[in-house]
A and B are shown apart, each in its own frame.
Chain A
């Protein structure tokens, strides 16, 4: 409790009365610090990946970090990427090293109930898949009795595989865990692992980026659904709400046809909803402790959800993950990307 906190508590005495414990929200910390510490992976192509030729971070998760920085601080360059692994990501947010984590993390109840984190809206729908080398002649999951499966340490896949073995009564199958995906892929290539198991999107990325994508086969079986979401430390609803609605803003922007390209034109729009949504003459931001134009800033930085998806995962990228017919399409097109009502 330093002097500044006391001063703040005094000034906002009313607010302090409402919030029973006077601990400040991460939102205030971020604004005061002027930068956003965002935890991402740097070995997951399409999500969080260091482009070694440009030295820049790229990916869906990275773009979400930038969007949040733009929404909260008005400047997408005020984001500091902190590398987290599957193993360290929860500790990183619990111990305040990062303000938020976007690291292809599966949302599941045990994580919110026992690790003291709160999840943000789902930003990608994935499922646990299994990839083998084409030359192995394996066509479906049931062919793999007795095989060695490899996965990352600390991921959901570890327990998913264990229960899949149990359900099938396999006793000889083994699970080998590495601390990152690049080692996993190397182990699959060398033949140490008969199968590599992680989220299907990551499997697609590694196969698609390899010199010979035809060497790999992603089995049709989906062992488990895994919806991805960012997360923040628990019991900080101001921060969580600000981030939730920033994410929803990206979904709504796509639905309302507002993109990075037509943003300037939409800012002059006469439509009262668009005006309020983009914060022209008063918007939604103030209630969350954000600037009124937070959605506009986020769109200016990275575009709407559709643009982020197309840039990092779409058919034009090496990931080659088409949105059509998957939950990742907008709800108006039969998918599950859905923003609550704004007005």
Chain B
């Protein structure tokens, strides 16, 4: 240290200058950082104060206590969490004497219901359409192309309104509807037979049901092909056994004067929303699939052809596995926008989250508090979807997962 000071004074001065400049730059950097943070904080505080003042001016109190009031209104369909049976969390139909918070839950459940179904269906349909656009069959190619073009170039809202008012509501009324092995398709909804649990608390029945779950989990998570086949076999065998022994029973819907009871049903609103969103998202997914098939090197097709693989085998075994690895992030974006699109259900009276928010805001006047809840719900849903997609992405690009 001392040596340096005495022997190389010029060098030290230069180094000091550099250090000083670096320090100055660092200070400037941190000052800017600080300024940005302070400005952002100030903006948020200003915003909060302005909202609070605005609300006070109108005599509105910002509080979430209304969530625990009784709702007093009905929702046409929807299940919610209940605490009726003591400690255990139940899951049953929403009725007017439940709380506002439970109404919100019913809305979220309805949104998730449509979103999950639409994600599955639109992925399948979209992949078919995307592959169809590259089909060797002229009719299929052009039909897929025009379907995709038409759907992508018109607003989703008009498609939704059209599906609901011009298609679904033109189904026959329940009295005149065709009944096909317990399936009823009518303008009151689509009814299908449902499985009901008759096993009560018997140990054998519960063991069988748990075995089913294990099989499902094995099918989804296990990486060995043989184990999967075994799980699949178990999934066929176990429920048949339970049906035969009477622990599970089929509940057929029975049409009455105005609607049908029993079984499982999909309301016309849900059917229309599902149809509109599935077709819309499928068109976008088809474009993603087509784009990434186009982007694959031509050599892949040629190599497959030289191995003597047929076109269908080439698509199934060579092209699609590669495509799915590439398109997953784009699919994720599409799934998020699909979930957001369910908010259009308000236009046809489907009681999804935004629609129920509308009812609550009107009946209670707490529109701002409601917005906070709705916004947080959508944010969480989006995050769940992107987390799930990136999990799937990681799993797919994991070499062990490749066949």
Contact = CB atoms under 8 A, between A and B. Distances in A.
Interface of A: 23, 86-87, 90-91, 94-95, 114-116, 144, 146-148, 150, 153-154, 158-159, 161-162, 165-166, 172, 174-179, 183, 186-187, 190-192, 194, 233-235
Interface in B230-284: 256-259, 261, 268-269
Given A116-B58, A153-B358, A186-B165, A175 B74 contact: yes
Nearest to B73: A158
28 contacts: A23-B57, A87-B362, A90-B362, A91-B361, A94-B58, A114-B364, A146-B256, A147-B259, A150-B349, A154-B359, A159-B73, A159-B96, A165-B74, A166-B96, A172-B261, A174-B76, A175-B75, A176-B76, A176-B349, A178-B349, A179-B346, A183-B348, A186-B165, A187-B169, A190-B187, A191-B173, A192-B268, A233-B58
Contacts of A174: 74, 76-77, 259
Given A115-B365, A172-B261, A186-B165, A192 B188 contact: yes
A175 B76 contact: yes
B291 interface: no
Contacts of A172: 258-259, 261
Given A148-B188, A162-B74, A153 B355 contact: yes
Contact of A161 (B74, B355, B363, B365): B74
Q: 3 smallest A-B Cβ distances: which pairs?
A: A154-B362, A190-B169, A116-B59
B380 to A, nearest CB: 25
A293 B257 CA distance: 61
A39 to B, nearest CB: 15
Contacts of A186: 165, 169
B354 to A, nearest CB: 11
Nearest to A234: B59
A161 B96 CA distance: 11
A138 to B, nearest CB: 10
Contact of A235 (B59, B165, B347, B362): B59
Contacts of A91: 361, 367
Interface residues of B, number: 38
B65 to A, nearest CB: 12
A95 B169 CA distance: 37
A77 to B, nearest CB: 30
B79 to A, nearest CB: 14
B256 A86 contact: no
A162 B75 CA distance: 10
A306 to B, nearest CB: 33
B100 to A, nearest CB: 13
Contacts of B269: 176
A175 B73 contact: yes
B162 to A, nearest CB: 12
B72 A146 contact: no
Contacts of B351: 177
Contact of B187 (A154, A158, A159, A191): A191
Contacts of A187: 169, 349
A153 B72 CA distance: 14
A158 B170 contact: no
Contact of A192 (B57, B96, B169, B361): B169
Given A148-B258, A162-B73, A162-B96, A179 B170 contact: no
Among B165, B355, B361, B362, the one with the most A-chain Cβ atoms within 10 Å of its Cβ is B362
Contacts of B59: 116, 234-235
B188 A177 contact: no
B375 interface: no
B258 A191 contact: no
Contact of A190 (B165, B257, B258, B347): B165
Given A162-B72, A175-B73, A194 B258 contact: yes
A1 B260 CA distance: 62
B36 interface: no
A186 B162 CA distance: 12
B349 to A, nearest CB: 5
B359 A158 contact: yes
A224 to B, nearest CB: 14
A179 B73 contact: no
